[in-house]
Amino acid sequence: MLQNLDRITFDLQIMGGKACIRGMRVPVSLILNLLANGKTSEEIIDDYPYLESEDIQQAMLYAA
């Protein structure tokens, strides 16, 4: 069953329509790159305090 990815947004005016987190200028690809390079969810949230753990979880689900 397809997960509800309500935190992943697409807007041509934001990052050229790339998949972003909640309409912010934070592309899903940035989150995935940070995770792939060894950052933990906690470290990402420390670096980007406006993100929530659900944002990171949905970024991974979107990629899957």
User: How many separate domains does the chain show?
Assistant: 1
8 Å CB contact between 26 and 20: yes
Which pLDDT score, from 0 to 100, does residue 4 have?
87
pLDDT means per 10 residues, the chain with 64 residues, are: 82 96 97 98 98 97 94
Q: Is residue 3 part of a domain?
A: no
pTM for the full model? Answer: 0.89
Residue 48: per-residue pLDDT: 97
Is 48 inside a domain boundary? yes
- pLDDT at site 37: 98
| 23 found inside a domain | yes
With respect to residue 2, please indicate whether it lies within any of the assigned structural domains: no
Residue 53 in domain: yes
pLDDT of residue 44: 98
CATH number of the domain bearing residue 19: 1.10.10.10
User: Has residue 1 been placed in a domain?
Assistant: no
Cβ contacts of residue 41 below 8 Å, gap of 6+?
35, 53, 56, 57
Residue 30's domain spans which residues?
A: 8-63
